Amino acid sequence: MAMYSAKEQGRGRFALYVPPATDAEGADAELRVELRSAIAEGRLTLHYQPIVPLRSGLRKGFESLARWDHPDHGLVAAKRLFDIAEVAGLSAELGVELLRLAHDDERPWFNHDDAGFVSVNVAASQLGHPDAATRFVERLGERRLDPSELVIELTEASFAQGLIVQGNLEVLRSAGIRIFLDGFGVGYSSLSHLHRFPVDGIKIDRSAISPAVDESLVKLIVSVAAALDIRTVAEGVETSDQLATVTRLGVDYAQGYLLGHPTRVPTPKSIDV
Ligand code: G
Ligand code: MN
């Protein structure tokens, strides 16, 4: 635990073990120790949130979100799980496991006629295993999803990564897996990233959708996407007003609590398009 705490503060540090001051700190320290076996034993699960088409001719998708259902600590959601893995030095293992799960998970509710894809959040830092992509691609098709039915959601931080990550992304993309840029339109979002690394879709960050749709930003993203012939998804749609606005602006898909929460078995609200 002292080692993890030193790592959290950067390289070349040392730390003394002091019993945790808060319950949350203690819980995370315990989880860091257990995460390795949870990954190895396949105890992580995916929950799915519907991504609903806003015009005809598109099939719906489902974003998978990693969960660790821990017997003592309850459901650990993706963001915290990723942070714990990072500090524990398990990001690369987690990435390999997320790809495996996205492909192998049993989805009896996934109807290939009206559902087009499952997306998975694999942070670039989780693609640090030199042959993560090759090993994964070799197994594709043996099981439940075609490469064309798999989407990887990446944040822009991925574009600043090194050669191993870039190599993994290229292997995945040339196998026919699509790549969507996640949470676009906040912070240092830059259109130049879309040129440097070709993506197949842009997910518009929920801060541009809720509480109010930032119409000029959404319009801009929709026109860039049209020029590049790629798809757009509005994230975090919570009200029917927001849904009406993004539909009017020509966004391709909507995702958010209005259309369905992430659950083990998703139930998308159907909308007329
Ligand atoms: O973009 P990213 O992959 O970080 O988003 C996924 C997260 O967003 C999930 O944790 C999910 O629970 C959350 N989320 C999904 N839909 C909504 C929504 O409509 N509103 C808010 N506030 N959060 C949402
Ligand atoms: Mn996402």
How far apart CA 81 and CA 64 sit, in angstroms, is 14
pLDDT tens for each residue of 128-158: 888 889 988 887 766 678 899 999 999 887 7
pLDDT tens for each residue of 105-123: 999 999 988 999 999 998 8
Q: Whose CA is nearest to atom 13 of ligand 1?
A: 236
- Predicted confidence at residue 239, as pLDDT, reads 98
- Predicted confidence at residue 58, as pLDDT, reads 95
Amino acid at 26: G
Cβ of 236 less than 6 Å from ligand 1 = yes
pLDDT tens for each residue of 194-234: 777 789 999 999 999 999 999 999 999 999 999 999 999 99
- Predicted confidence at residue 64, as pLDDT, reads 97
List the structure tokens of 227. Answer: 């020029």
Q: Whose CA is nearest to atom 22 of ligand 1?
A: 236
Cβ of 134: how many Cβ atoms within 10 Å? 14
Q: Which atom of ligand 1 is nearest to the CA of 77?
A: 10
Most confident of 14-23, 63-72, 183-192: 63-72
Burial of 240: CB neighbours in 10 Å, binned 0-12, 13-18, 19+? exposed
pLDDT tens for each residue of 226-268: 999 999 999 999 999 999 999 999 999 999 999 999 999 999 8
Q: Closest-lying ligand to the alpha carbon of 257?
A: 1
Q: How much is the average pLDDT of 6-28? A: 76
Q: Which atom of ligand 1 is nearest to the CA of 79?
A: 10
Q: Which atom of ligand 1 is nearest to the CA of 182?
A: 1
The Å distance, Cα 13 to ligand 1 centre, comes to 35
The reported pTM is: 0.89
Ion ligand 2: residues, Cβ under 5 Å: 121, 153, 182
pLDDT tens for each residue of 24-50: 777 888 899 999 999 999 999 999 999
- Predicted confidence at residue 143, as pLDDT, reads 66
Cβ of 47 less than 6 Å from ligand 1 = no
DSSP bridge pairs for 170? none
65 and 77 in contact (C-beta within 8 Å)?
Answer: yes
First to last CA, the chain: 53
Cβ of 257 less than 6 Å from ligand 1 = yes
Provide the phi-psi class of 57: left if phi over 0, else alpha when psi is between -120 and 50, else beta.
left
The Å distance, Cα 24 to ligand 1 centre, comes to 22
Total count of residues recorded for the chain: 273
- Tell me: pLDDT of 19 over 70: no
- Predicted confidence at residue 260, as pLDDT, reads 97
Q: How much is the average pLDDT of 85-96? A: 92
At 162, the pLDDT band (50, 70, 90 cuts) reads confident
Q: Closest-lying ligand to the alpha carbon of 180?
A: 2
The Å distance, Cα 236 to ligand 1 centre, comes to 6
Higher pLDDT, 7 or 211: 211
What SS3 class is residue 116? strand
- Predicted confidence at residue 262, as pLDDT, reads 97
List the structure tokens of 85. Answer: 């893995």
Cβ of 185 less than 6 Å from ligand 1 = no
Nearest Cα to 170, choosing from 219, 134, 141, 217? 134
